[in-house]
Structure 1
Amino acid sequence: MLRHRRFILILNLSLSCFLIIFLILQSNERNPALINYCLINNITSSKEFYSNLVYIPTLNILFCDVPKAASTNLRRLLYGYLNQSNSFTNLDRKQIWLDHKDFFKKYYLTKTNFEFILNNSNRNLFKFLLVRHPFQRIYSVYYDKFVNNHIDDTLSGWKQLEEDILLQMNTNQTLLTIRRNDIKLDFRTFLLYIIDSIKRNQLINSHWEQIVQRCAFCSIDYNLIGKIENFHQDKKFLLKKLNQNYNKIILKFPSKEIDKQSKKQILLNDSQLIQFFRDTIQNDDDFEILIDYYKPDFQLFNYEIPNL
């Protein structure tokens, strides 16, 4: 009886996932080459990818929230539009992510309203996605969360995550010794932790999760794929669309200097960063595991795949 119930539960979950993907494919004119790539490479979406999607009806937009791809400044900008004030575009990190968390929470989709919006939204719904080189995201999040300490990082659990990583990667350490000796997470250990998480098939943190899976890129027909590396141009198109959709107020994209870090990482171009990752990992097999995980992001967003 118990086995039968489990079978029914698994069957229902499978049918629900199939229905979501079917609805997506039916509602969008998909690029045949993209569909072919996704099928050949068996690309799947994250289990609850819809929870990463933000739908703001007054602006007629839907986008995927991608950490470490201008997500904080994008939130500042949208908060300014929704409150019809330019002053909100200068809110600090704590204000925008913690103090106003509940304000934004209502715009994130659930499985139920995702299906409804997909079936009932008008054809003019503007869907966009901001992406960044996979290694640049990893490099950025390490310095942002584990080197430059912010008050919101402690409140958001980043200190605890640092300790969890150290415990997972250094089995001879205890929480007491880590705290007593003030042991900090070094970059190599951080990279090896990501690789170890991939090997174990563990849940990957949203700040370095593969974007293609996180944002259901193989299923959703995004109108704009903005790249941080070309953001001086891509943001102009994004702002033009937002200003057209909501002409009550005209805003500019906030300056990235608002979140200026006290300890800046050394700026490296993509080629330099790839070599830095390779030298830091010190193991070709592990380096290959990292590349394989992010390969869909490299290929679908036109980033050069590192040589093995």
Structure 2
Amino acid sequence: MFDNMHHQWLLLAACFWVILMFMVASKFITLTFKDPDAYSAKQEFLFLTAVPDAGRLPGETHFPEELKPTGKMLVEPLVYAQRLELMRNVCREDALRNLSHTAVSKFVLDRIFVCDKHKILFCQTPKVGNTQWKKVLIVLNGAFPSIEEIPENVVHDHEKNGLPRLSSFSEAEIQKRLKTYFKFFIVRDPFERLISAFKDKFVHNPRFEPWYRHEIAPGIIRKYRRNRTETRGIQFEDFVRYLGDPNHRWLDLQFGDHIIHWVTYVELCAPCEITYSVVGHHETLADDAPYILREAGIDHLVAYPTIPLGITAYNRTKVEQYFLGISKRDIRRLLPVWLTAVILKLSKPRLGQQHHIHTVYCPQGRVSLPATSFSKKFQEMTVVIFCRKAHHRLFTVLLCRRRLERFP
């Protein structure tokens, strides 16, 4: 009898192990042959939206498990929707009102180009691939049959390129287009954009625009160069001091529209006053450009010109090299002016996480700008700026509702 029971227990144990191994093998097979695109999409979706209930943001979209999208094409709209949500929340912040709001003036309307045929408005933010977007709109307006046939000297000649500015219409026509047309603009890491503007206008000047070196550069040097005996041409530190000075607007008035290459996105496009359909990122333009064309309903009519590999990628080394010689004081003065640009450039992070996206240098060591983190009710925003080595000072820019404070 004991032997029979022993055999029964052995049989049960064997059955148990067979069932267990079968379950493990099934799970392994499921994971191995699962659609890699669907898995990647689900992981990206969870990264973007999986926030604890207690920390959900007002108006944030959450999907039931059975309704969660799969596949890259279904995840894409969520990314662009979150950029717009971030922009709306920045615009609602009282503490950022002076930095995020501007009047829809003629200066802004001059930056917006119109394609009436396809009901599109494009706000120009120089140093983010605007020449190529202008070519797209020129073709759509019918001035040239293809992008390849547009002469380079015509692209920026607004008397010949058939690309009207929004400012050329009556007030009623302007409002109608602002309310009903597809509207977009492109942003870029603001510090890299400043470097690009400095190199393009004051160092290389490929389009031979002599007024940058002969008129604007001397004006900046006279006001902001500390060593008056130095005779070199404009240096990047002179440029940074000029941009970080909260009272430099009087100089901008003398420079006129030439300042469009370095003024902020707020001043160029008034994103808190104009409801844009899409905000593209220069760093992800290879994905963003086709998405914008699809959303505007013109992807079957024209394609964005081929983007050379790596040309739009964020170049951390270049940013570090340029900011290496900039004093901590000058970087501090520059940050509040460009803080809104930094925020608009970021996609909304998951609460409690920091994503190190921007890097600049202070004299003592590297300074990093992690992604902006938001409180549960968007009552405050925090951008932490810190040197990586422990003995360097820690700076925190805390934006509360009605004040801007710095804590050492």
CA contact 2:236–2:322 (8 Å) conserved in 1: no
Q: Which residue of 2 aligns with 1:192?
A: 241
Matched residue SS, 1:73: helix
Q: Which residue of 2 aligns with 1:169?
A: 224
CA contact 1:188–1:281 (8 Å) conserved in 2: yes
Q: Which residue of 2 aligns with 1:288?
A: 332
| Residue type of the alignment partner of 2:238 | T
| Residue type of the alignment partner of 1:269 | N
Q: Which residue of 2 aligns with 1:144?
A: 200
Query: Is the counterpart of residue 36 in structure 1 residue 92 in structure 2?
Result: yes
Q: Which residue of 2 aligns with 1:107?
A: 164
The 3 A distance-change label for structure 1 pair 246 and 275 is closer
CA contact 1:192–1:281 (8 Å) conserved in 2: no
How far did residue 89 of structure 1 move? 5.7
How far did residue 188 of structure 1 move? 2.1
Q: For the residues of structure 1 that align with 2:329 and 2:178, how far apart are their CA atoms?
A: 47
Matched residue SS, 1:222: coil
The 3 A distance-change label for structure 1 pair 130 and 254 is same
Q: Which residue of 1 aligns with 2:185?
A: 129
CA contact 1:89–1:254 (8 Å) conserved in 2: no
- 1:243-282 matches, within 5 Å, as 244-245=297-298, 250-255=301-306, 269-270=315-316, 272=317, 275-276=320-321, 278-282=323-327
Q: For the residues of structure 2 that align with 1:269 and 1:253, how far apart are their CA atoms?
A: 23
How far did residue 209 of structure 1 move? 0.7
CA contact 2:115–2:137 (8 Å) conserved in 1: no
Q: Of Structure 1 and Structure 2, which has the larger fraction of its residues in strand? A: 2
Q: For the residues of structure 2 that align with 1:194 and 1:78, how far apart are their CA atoms?
A: 32
Question: What is the number of equivalent residue pairs in this alignment?
Answer: 253
Q: Which residue of 1 aligns with 2:212?
A: 158
Q: For the residues of structure 2 that align with 1:96 and 1:275, how far apart are their CA atoms?
A: 33
CA contact 1:210–1:297 (8 Å) conserved in 2: yes
How far did residue 104 of structure 1 move? 5.1
Q: For the residues of structure 1 that align with 2:178 and 2:267, how far apart are their CA atoms?
A: 25
| Residue type of the alignment partner of 1:289 | R
Work out which of the residue numbers 135, 139, 151 in structure 2 matches 1:91.
151
Q: For the residues of structure 1 that align with 2:262 and 2:213, how far apart are their CA atoms?
A: 17
Q: Of Structure 1 and Structure 2, which has the larger fraction of its residues in helix? A: 1
How far did residue 63 of structure 1 move? 2.0
Higher relative contact order (CA 8 A, sep 6+): 1
How far did residue 125 of structure 1 move? 1.6
Query: Is the counterpart of residue 229 in structure 1 residue 283 in structure 2?
Result: yes
How far did residue 76 of structure 1 move? 1.8
Tell me the alpha carbon deviations over residues 19-47 of structure 1, each in whole angstroms, 9 at most, x when there is no partner: xxxxxxxxxx998634422x342232155
| Residue type of the alignment partner of 2:164 | Y
Tell me the alpha carbon deviations over residues 114-157 of structure 1, each in whole angstroms, 9 at most, x when there is no partner: 55332x34965211111111101111111112221324423xx2
How far did residue 69 of structure 1 move? 1.3
Query: Is the counterpart of residue 302 in structure 1 residue 373 in structure 2?
Result: no
Tell me the alpha carbon deviations over residues 70-109 of structure 1, each in whole angstroms, 9 at most, x when there is no partner: 11111122222222411556532x3322xx3213586212
CA contact 2:115–2:140 (8 Å) conserved in 1: no
Structure 2, unmatched stretches of 5+, are 1-84, 253-258, 348-356, 359-368, 370-384, 386-394, 396-408
The 3 A distance-change label for structure 1 pair 296 and 111 is farther
| Residue type of the alignment partner of 2:190 | P
| Residue type of the alignment partner of 2:170 | N
Tell me the alpha carbon deviations over residues 203-247 of structure 1, each in whole angstroms, 9 at most, x when there is no partner: 5521111102321111111111000011010001122245x3486
Work out which of the residue numbers 231, 236, 239 in structure 1 matches 2:293.
239
CA contact 1:68–1:141 (8 Å) conserved in 2: yes
Q: Which residue of 2 aligns with 1:22?
A: none
Structure 1, unmatched stretches of 5+, are 1-28, 261-266
How far did residue 295 of structure 1 move? 0.6
CA contact 2:187–2:265 (8 Å) conserved in 1: yes
Percentage identity across paired residues of the two chains: 20
| Residue type of the alignment partner of 2:128 | A
Q: For the residues of structure 1 that align with 2:205 and 2:177, how far apart are their CA atoms?
A: 41
Q: For the residues of structure 1 that align with 2:121 and 2:302, how far apart are their CA atoms?
A: 19
Matched residue SS, 2:114: strand
CA contact 2:155–2:161 (8 Å) conserved in 1: no
Tell me the alpha carbon deviations over residues 236-267 of structure 1, each in whole angstroms, 9 at most, x when there is no partner: 1122245x3486xx32222456xx9xxxxxx8
Matched residue SS, 2:166: coil
